[in-house]
């Protein structure tokens, strides 16, 4: 009986050690970069070439990259724009140390009330997962596409 109890205790201890409660922390994804390579004005819009660089130690899984123009609410106050364009050329799994070139075309034609859209301050956003596709490994980063 004592051997069985000892075996069960050891088994439980090993299971507890084997379980990990790791979450994607800011330090894990702070080494993922989105760099503007080229901006080009085209007849009816603006084209951006962006490089996504995974300098983290993790696989970037099922990520999506979006660009949008913020909506000007009042002087120096901007809000999110529900109209976002997804980057083309992305991959489902981006290995540690890998770089991916992305293309984004932002049409200006058809945008109503362009005076409230700030086309000079595009925002880029990346949503994805590190190593595992679950809620604990989900993250989002973003900011100004054009750095000054």
pLDDT 10s digits, 26-42 = 567 788 999 999 999 98
What's the confidence (pLDDT) of residue 16? 52
Predicted confidence (pLDDT) at residue 112 exceeds the cutoff of 80 = no
Residues 51-109 have pLDDT tens digits of: 999 999 999 999 999 999 998 887 777 888 888 999 999 999 999 999 999 999 998 87
Which CATH number covers residue 94? 2.60.40.1230
What's the confidence (pLDDT) of residue 21? 46
For residue 125, give the DSSP letter: E
Q: Please choose, from the candidates 147, 108, 142, 144, the residue with its C-alpha nearest in 3D space to the C-alpha of residue 128.
A: 142
Residue 12 forms part of a structural domain: no
Does the pTM exceed 0.75?
Answer: yes
Q: Which domain holds residue 98?
A: 31-144
Residue 49 forms part of a structural domain: yes
Residue 58 forms part of a structural domain: yes
- Give the total number of structural domains in the chain: 1
Residue 61 forms part of a structural domain: yes
Residue 102 forms part of a structural domain: yes
Longest CA–CA separation in the chain, Å? 82
Predicted confidence (pLDDT) at residue 119 exceeds the cutoff of 70 = yes
Sheet strands (E) in the chain: 32-42, 45-54, 60-68, 71-74, 77-79, 85-86, 93-94, 99-107, 123-130, 138-144
């Amino acid at each position: 009986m004592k051997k069985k109890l000892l075996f069960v205790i050891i088994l439980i201890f090993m299971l507890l050690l084997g379980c990990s409660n790791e979450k994607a922390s800011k330090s894990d994804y702070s080494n993922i970069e989105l760099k503007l390579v080229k901006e080009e004005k085209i007849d009816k819009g603006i084209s951006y070439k962006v490089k996504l660089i995974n300098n983290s130690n993790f696989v970037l899984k099922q990520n999506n990259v979006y660009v949008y123009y913020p909506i000007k609410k009042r002087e120096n106050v901007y809000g999110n724009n529900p109209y976002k364009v997804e980057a083309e050329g992305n991959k489902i799994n981006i290995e540690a140390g890998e770089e991916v070139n992305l293309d984004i075309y932002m049409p200006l034609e058809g945008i109503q009330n362009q005076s409230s859209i700030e086309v000079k301050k595009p925002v880029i956003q990346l949503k994805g997962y590190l190593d595992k596709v679950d809620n604990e490994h989900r993250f989002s980063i973003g900011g100004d596409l054009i750095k000054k």
